Structure 1
Amino acid sequence: MDYTDFIQMLLEDMESPVSSGEKNIIRFREPRHFYACQDRLQTLHLRYPNMPGIQVSDLLEAIIAPFPVSSRLMSKYHDDLIIEEDTQMQVHTLVNNKVNQSPGIPYGVKQIQAPKAWSTSTGYRIRIGVIDTGADYYHPDLRQSLAKGINLLHRHLLPLDDNGHGTHIAGTIAAANGPDGMIGVAPRAMIFPVKAFDNNGSAYVSDIIQGIDWCVRNRMHIINMSFGMKTKSKALLDIVGKAYTAGISIVASSGNDGKRRSIDYPARYGQTISVGATDRNRRIASFSNRGDLIDIYAPGDKIISSWTRGKYHEMSGTSMATSHVSGSIALLLAQNPDLSPAEIKELLVATATPLRPRKGQSRVVHTGEINAYRLLREGMKRKNNPS
């Protein structure tokens, strides 16, 4: 492969005026080609520091090109490259209402019996990468819960939340403001906001890839992914697999379409823990995707949590359910840090609370709603009596 020629063609594509907003993920069939091209790109960046936006993912061994790649380049290097269009995805939220005061311990946190688990574990020192819209670092309930993280959209800035969704997720996972504010599932866990989504709650697959890459390199224990899309992505699957192999539990929301036999990606990938939503009555929420592809359910209907500017909002969606699961896994890992992602998934299902059927529902659901207290009890048994 002629690396200089390839990069020259890439730079020409970058400078070409185009009408479409298409972006591409370029992967190499042989890792040595990636590393050689990466070295050339780094040399160019040193020589031309203002050269715009070609990014790389070391973990995926990919180049992310924020512009269309020409047919000329694809034709010349089709034997060396795998090129995938960079598609968009959205956060999984339906409803958003203002709330005037803190919920204290929200109903979802109580429903999964997290307060009963706090005498055993509060999630101390567990690191959770929340790939989302950022977080409100000034919210009184989150000041003790947020680490620096990263802003993938503006790398020189803090990952501040300009949407609200990421702050809501962070609050359910790990808010920690005692009697005066809200308490999340794992109040002593540490959240690392990874801002990949813009103020409209939109991101590209390449942003998620870079977010997962960052989480692996910075040794997260859990990745919370409260978003999805309808189309599959081989590049996203591969990097999810790499995070899973690195021992990270990846918790993903299933989607809000009320489908019975289909869920969104990346929750559909077997390496993730796919989450559906329940309501206050421990029934599957009407909006939630459901069926055999769901690993676990959690409260996701009318969930009150933290919001930007120190406020609170009520939101519904499988996004909200996912944050309850991430917090519960943090409680478990603080108590039993040697558990693998596969063992954690098996424990979630084994200790789940059975769901109540909806009217007219006759089919047995193969999994239930997460129960943090039972999860920790079973986790302690496994720790004391390893097989």
Structure 2
Amino acid sequence: METGIKDFARPVEASAIMELLPTRPRVLALGEPTHGEDTLLDLRNRLFRQLVEEQGYRTIALESDCLRALTVDAYVTSGEGSLDDVMERGFSHDWGGSRANRELVRWMRDVNADRPADDRVRFAGMDGPLEITGAESPRQALTALHDHLAAHVDAELLPCTALRLDDLLGADASWTNQAAMMDPSQSVGRTPEARELRLIADDMVTLLETQAPHLAAVSSPDDRDRAHLYGRTAVGLLRYHSWMADTSPARMARLLATRDGMMAGNLLALAARGAVLVHAHNSHLQRDKSAMSMWGHPKVEWWSAGALTSTRLGDRYAHLATALGAMKHRGVDAPPPDTVESILHALPQRQFAIEASQLDAVARHMDAVPRESPYFGYAPLNPSHLARIDGVVYVSDVPHD
């Protein structure tokens, strides 16, 4: 197995990664097959530092709440707040407790200390304010967008007052009720108030667009970027809550597609600002359709954020899929024969990158089969996806931290 690819393995370094790709991507997507392993996050951190220092990248986006991430960005760019507070409030999915994430934020703050404002390294979240168990209230996004518009445009152009907006939103607990994920009847996503809020959100986003020349003259680029982020998030959250109230067989597919659509919108906005490294699960970054079975539902398929972004950006989007060999503390032993991971595991290097087309040729020759995982939180590399992946980053062992 080793013979066919041993000459193509490269170190996981920015310069070597760029040699794998046809052009310098605007969005370089580094996918991971499992969450929460600092070994993989340490690799991500090293690569991002090199991309900043050698390739001119200035933004990293993680699979974390895009609104909470504003707290992290304020800290790394201007020192606002404390590191402890930022790690507690600036991440979703409990990822603020990660040692590697803390080291990333600390490094970004340190490197920005000597940089001019227009050259600082930025932090972003690609995800919406969502968890697998539910979604946040749209209050923060709607209120912040309304505040931005109210500060800069004539009051008669606004679709409603701040008081009316607050009345329509009601109690946040109604929006965040986790029982709604399993029981659509408990969702408030299709109440008369929610329907009116969707119209108001649409009107406010339209106002952002139709007042663009004026807003460009009276507000900063960062303020406008945040306003558009609030607009995308408000519209996406209201759409997500609406589908939570749905009772049709397409409910889960709509929810998953809506989430990844929000991610894609955030990635495209970041790409418009400059080159960005995004780190998320492979299922959110791959070009092939993603699939999931959960809570007794049959398999659900949807197009990922990567597939949507790649369609828009073409070769300015690149996906590096991380694959791993063993993760023994999760019950994942060395890969069995005839899997893609076994081909990679035969090489002497412990971490390396390889062009996916080279690996695809070897996998096809040996009729590689998909690896089966004993751990539900780990998704092995699918051999059928290799033709639509740009590169594979292999980590032979993920020890318990």
Q: Which has the higher contact order (CA 8 A, sep 6+)?
A: 2
- With the length of structure 1 as denominator, give the TM-score of the two structures: 0.29
Q: More strand per residue: 1 or 2? A: 1
- With the length of structure 2 as denominator, give the TM-score of the two structures: 0.29
